[in-house]
């Protein structure tokens, strides 16, 4: 089998590092053609020395100079800027693109991969939340293939009939059940949530992840974004997507069929499993993970989410029902609010307040094409920032 040629967008992040970890186990199967990163120039340089890509991309010129210096004796060409991200995502010799940049910064390069008909391993859920209809259209028109990396959607994908037609009803699917760990504040007294610190919020009980997605897990905004992600990936109506809290993070999601069958995918919470699944699909390869011994993991429990504790989850359903640009508004306001919380400028409960405010102001905007989506994203950021400043 010829090796697959990879571009890894966001190589220096948690998903990027896990991807390279799996790739390193299978040197015959994968060749890395491009790696990208933002700030961690030293880490990117080390990765380039190990994987010898043709291109390495950073966001600005100063970092490009730094990286060029570090890689002076290598063959890797260093590029910088947004356009360069789009270029390495659509190189003719690349067949697979891991989309693992965090936030809306991932949209344009992921879109470039879609238009170029690549096999896209999609970790960057914000692309689907911000521009779901537009992005899915680009995937269809470009002849691209989407494979979900988010552990829940990867689990759903694995429990779905193949090939999936894009219509749940024709396959007899009744509901998609997305599991959620409930994060670090699942049992914390509600009246103490205004005092939680960024350190407590990013200390996820089961997963090691970037800071933004860790805060999103604490508020369950992450699950809200994933409900919207599931809507676009599987063409599921909001009432066909249910969230179940499962604190052990062993069952990664489930699909319920008309006949009462529920299929689940289980594994230890280690992103290398969904990454290896999507990298090799439809083959199966080793991921380097610990084997799951159900006799040792202890009881698995499930409970319904409490929307008073997790108002962000309710806001995500509200944005999905509103349609149009509402999910883009939610996503942009969330990025601003999470950053303000991490910078200790607002207390934890104000994250949800900021999102509700942005939705009240902007939820009825139509979605439109890329320029309109970028404009509404900017407007939502401004509305959220003004709300935070005025508090």
Which residues of this chain interact with Mg ion, rule CB under 5 A?
150-152
Q: Which two tokens stand for residue 125?
A: 């859920």
Binding flag, residue 35, ligand NAD (CB under 6 A) = no
Burial of 191 from C-beta contacts in 10 A (0-12 / 13-18 / 19+): exposed
Name residue 80's beta-bridge partners: 58
Given the complex with Mg ion, which of 152 and 335 has the nearer CB atom?
152
DSSP-derived secondary structure letter, 30: E
3-state DSSP assignment of residue 138: helix
Q: Taken in order 227, 228, 233, 238, is the CA torsion positive or negative?
A: positive
Task: Point out which span in 6-14, 231-239, 285-293, 351-359 binds ligand NAD (CB under 6 A).
Answer: 6-14
**Of 216, 211, 187, 217, nearest in space to 199 by CA:** 211
Question: Residue 109 touches which of Mg ion, ligand NAD, none (CB < 5 to 8 A by kind)?
Answer: none
Query: Considering only residues 59, 90, 219, 334, which one is a binding residue for ligand NAD as defined by CB under 6 A?
Result: 59
Given the complex with ligand NAD, which of 165 and 378 has the nearer CB atom?
378
Q: Tell me the closest approach of the beta carbon of residue 6 to Mg ion, in angstroms.
A: 22
CA–CA separation, 226 vs 76, rounded Å? 36
Q: Which two tokens stand for residue 176?
A: 């998609």
Question: Residue 331 touches which of Mg ion, ligand NAD, none (CB < 5 to 8 A by kind)?
Answer: none
Query: Considering only residues 5, 30, 34, 37, which one is a binding residue for ligand NAD as defined by CB under 6 A?
Result: 37
Query: Considering only residues 21, 38, 240, 280, which one is a binding residue for ligand NAD as defined by CB under 6 A?
Result: 38
Residues in 157-216 at the binding interface with ligand NAD, rule: CB under 6 A: 207, 209-210, 213
Given the complex with ligand NAD, which of 277 and 365 has the nearer CB atom?
277
Q: What are the two backbone dihedrals, phi and then psi, of residue 56, each rounded to the nearest 5 degrees?
A: -130, 135
Name residue 262's beta-bridge partners: 256
Q: Tell me the closest approach of the beta carbon of residue 294 to ligand NAD, in angstroms.
A: 23
Residue 336 contacts residue 381 (beta carbons within 8 Å): yes
Q: Taken in order 187, 190, 195, 197, is the CA torsion positive or negative?
A: positive
Task: Point out which span in 9-17, 87-95, 166-174, 346-354 binds ligand NAD (CB under 6 A).
Answer: 9-17
Residues in 124-143 at the binding interface with ligand NAD, rule: CB under 6 A: 124-126
Where do the DSSP E strands lie in 140-185?
Answer: 145-148, 173-180
Question: Residue 100 touches which of Mg ion, ligand NAD, none (CB < 5 to 8 A by kind)?
Answer: ligand NAD
Query: Considering only residues 5, 23, 67, 150, which one is a binding residue for ligand NAD as defined by CB under 6 A?
Result: 150
Given the complex with Mg ion, which of 112 and 271 has the nearer CB atom?
271
Q: What are the two backbone dihedrals, phi and then psi, of residue 59, each rounded to the nearest 5 degrees?
A: -85, -30
Q: Tell me the closest approach of the beta carbon of residue 230 to Mg ion, in angstroms.
A: 10
Phi/psi class of residue 180: alpha, beta or left (left: φ > 0; alpha: ψ in -120 to 50)? beta
Residues in 277-336 at the binding interface with ligand NAD, rule: CB under 6 A: none
User: Footprint of ligand NAD on this chain (CB under 6 A)?
Assistant: 10-16, 37-38, 59, 100-102, 105, 123-126, 150, 207, 209-210, 213, 271
């Amino acid at each position: 089998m010829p090796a697959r040629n990879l571009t890894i967008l966001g190589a220096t992040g948690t998903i990027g590092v896990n991807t390279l970890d799996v790739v390193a186990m299978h040197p015959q199967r994968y060749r890395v053609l491009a790696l990208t990163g933002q700030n961690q120039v030293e880490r990117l340089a080390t990765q380039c020395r190990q994987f010898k890509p043709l291109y390495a991309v950073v966001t600005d010129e100063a970092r490009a100079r730094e990286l060029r210096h570090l890689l002076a004796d290598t063959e890797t060409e260093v590029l910088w800027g947004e356009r360069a991200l789009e270029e390495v995502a659509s190189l003719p010799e690349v067949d697979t693109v891991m989309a693992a940049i965090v936030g809306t910064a991932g949209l344009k390069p992921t879109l470039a991969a879609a238009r170029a008909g690549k096999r896209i391993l999609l970790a960057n859920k914000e692309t689907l939340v911000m521009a779901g209809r537009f992005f899915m259209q680009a995937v269809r028109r470009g002849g691209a293939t989407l494979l979900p990396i988010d552990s829940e959607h990867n689990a759903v994908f694995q429990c779905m009939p193949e090939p999936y037609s894009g219509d749940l009803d024709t396959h007899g699917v009744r509901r998609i059940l997305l599991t959620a760990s409930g994060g670090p504040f699942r049992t914390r007294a509600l009246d103490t949530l205004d005092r939680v610190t960024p350190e407590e919020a990013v200390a996820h009980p089961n997963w090691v992840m970037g800071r933004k997605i860790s805060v999103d897990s604490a508020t369950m905004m992450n699950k809200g974004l994933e409900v919207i992600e599931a809507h676009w990936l599987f063409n599921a109506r909001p009432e066909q997507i249910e969230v179940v809290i499962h604190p052990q993070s062993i069952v990664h999601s489930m699909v319920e069929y008309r006949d009462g069958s529920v299929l689940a995918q289980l594994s230890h919470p280690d992103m290398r499993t969904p990454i290896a699944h999507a990298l090799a699909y439809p083959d199966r390869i080793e991921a380097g993970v610990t084997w799951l011994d159900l006799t040792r993991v202890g009881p698995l429990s499930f409970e319904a989410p409490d929307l008073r504790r997790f108002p962000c989850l309710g806001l995500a359903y509200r944005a999905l029902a509103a349609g149009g640009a509402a999910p883009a508004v939610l996503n942009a306001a969330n990025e601003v609010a999470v950053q303000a919380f991490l910078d200790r400028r607002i207390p934890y409960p104000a994250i949800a307040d900021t999102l509700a405010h942005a939705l009240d102001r902007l939820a009825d905007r139509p979605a439109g094409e890329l320029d309109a989506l970028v404009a509404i994203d900017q407007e939502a950021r401004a509305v959220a920032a003004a709300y935070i400043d005025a508090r």
